[in-house]
Chain A
Amino acid sequence: MTDAVKISNRNFSVFYGAIQALRGITLDVLAHQILGIIGPAGSGKTALLRSMNRLNDLNPNCRVEGQILLDGEDIYQPEFDAVRLRKRVGMVFALPVPLPLSLFDNIVYGPRLSGIRARARLNELVERSLQAAFLWDEVKDRLQTSALRLSGGQQQRLCLARVLAMEPEVILLDEPCSGLDPISTSRIEEALMALKSKYTIVLVTNNTKQAARVADTTAFLLQGELVEVGPTDRIFTAPKDQRTNDYVSGRFG
């Protein structure tokens, strides 16, 4: 069964000033799958991720070439609304950044911007998102307390819930478990596995074992180039490229 292509990167390059972070990447993200992107530091993984929701626009030094198609539309064409794009493509960052608001207000921040004000609808949204992020049971009694009081793992799940409340189509995660303990990590991985049936997920991780656990497809990036991409099993057991082999077997990292 072939799934539809949700996001298609076509010969896509990213420049930060004079430095080229991505070199002509051509990579498809299939719908309702988890794409894991692995590679050492500086390989361009984050650059690629931040291009998919045009968060790179916030950086005045950043320049892109090539195309990224979301459902067939090039998101970098001038008339494309980047703000609307980000409502469809959500992002969870490496370090959890709860806004200095209550848990409730954190989660409904995005929906409120979209004009949703009815209290009942917001309540429902909050409960659903927190359930999907596997956080509801822990915090359901203190939704009005400050989000800053949560532990690291809880904050990251809150950030995931915040994205889910937008009801996006795609979820981008940039090394979401890098600061977390193993238990919090496994809760997030659990959540992602449960979410992929509804969403398309792109997970950047520098933990190869995480990719092996969670991703359906894995792409290996090295110094801005896409070295290899394929089903996770194959990448980890029988990679075609020697460099991929070296990386996943830990010979460098």
Chain B
Amino acid sequence: MRIPPRNTQALAVTLLAGATGLTLAVLVFVIVFILGKGLPVISLGFLFDNPQEMGKAGGIFPTLVGTLILPLVAILIALPAGVGTAVYLSEYTGDNLATRIIRFGTDCLAGIPSIIFGLFGFIFFVTTLKMGWCILSGALTLAIMVLPTIIRTAEEAIRAVPAGYREVSCSLGATRWETVLKVVLPNALPGIVTGIMLSIGRCIGETAAVIFTAGASLRLPHSVFDSTRTMAVHFYILAREGISNENAYGTAAVLILSVLLVNSLSYWMMNRFIARRTK
């Protein structure tokens, strides 16, 4: 007996909707679960006190600082390199062997897992360059990790700037660099900022690459040459060593809230960007 197509469709759609529902449910569960157990732990004291007994008691302040500084320094390093690459690829060359090699390198870099970055950062920055476990080692490693993201989003944003703008700028007597600086980059800025936010989000959640390069010191860092612990690393250590489930939940909650904040900001910016373009 042949099942009428309308019924197969109904069945199929139900299954597909179920799959989507399941995916959403998992997401919601993760967030609700962590926030549910973790929000009660969060207090001003939790956020701004120093940890005691290796994190069993006290707060997570140094990790908050570490989580703020590390991505910041990483972006400071990755931004010129990434935007510079994007500008070079889209404004200064066409499609030739050199650009294809650069793109290939960027794509490969994007596919490397964070543990390999951690290994590299350890053997190169920490050991060979003798920088030791410090913010700078971590930031350099993270910078390389987010470089493909910055390059990709910057290039997209730059290519979206209408060609007419460049022509007009040149016809008014601007050099190529002046055109880039005064017309292309300002109009590509929202897209670039989105890329930055995505990268920051990734850095916040990163553990494997950080723990082998920035270390896990619970002391408040005073310079980029100090070791530091980020919230993700702290959470991992608390959970794995069984130091304090309660504080682990609290840290995880702050972690998730930060990531949610950064991601929401970037979507909001992206939407404003699209809205402004079509005005």
Contact = CB atoms under 8 A, between A and B. Distances in A.
A87 interface: yes
A62 interface: no
Contacts of A113: 172-174, 178, 182
B168 A97 contact: yes
Contacts of B182: 109, 113
Main secondary structure of the interface of A (DSSP, over half): helix
Interface residues of B, number: 19
A55 B167 contact: yes
Contact of B166 (A58, A83, A87, A114): A58
Interface string B173-203: 1110010001100010000000000000000
A48 interface: no
B94 interface: yes
B219 to A, nearest CB: 49
Contacts of B172: 86-87, 90, 109-110, 113, 162-163, 166
A100 B187 contact: yes
Interface residues of A, number: 24
A83 B173 contact: yes
Interface in B138-172: 162, 164-172
Contacts of B94: 60
Nearest to A100: B187
Interface string A28-62: 00000000000000000000000001010010100
Interface of A: 53, 55, 58, 60, 83-84, 86-87, 90-91, 93, 95, 97, 99-100, 109-110, 113-114, 148, 159, 162-163, 166
Interface of B: 94, 162, 164-175, 178, 182-183, 187, 279
14 contacts: A55-B167, A55-B170, A55-B171, A60-B94, A83-B174, A84-B173, A87-B172, A91-B171, A97-B168, A100-B187, A110-B174, A113-B182, A162-B168, A166-B173
Given A58-B167, A83-B173, 19 more contacts: A83-B175, A86-B170, A86-B172, A91-B171, A95-B164, A97-B165, A97-B167, A97-B168, A99-B168, A99-B169, A99-B183, A100-B165, A109-B169, A110-B172, A110-B174, A113-B178, A114-B173, A159-B168, A162-B168
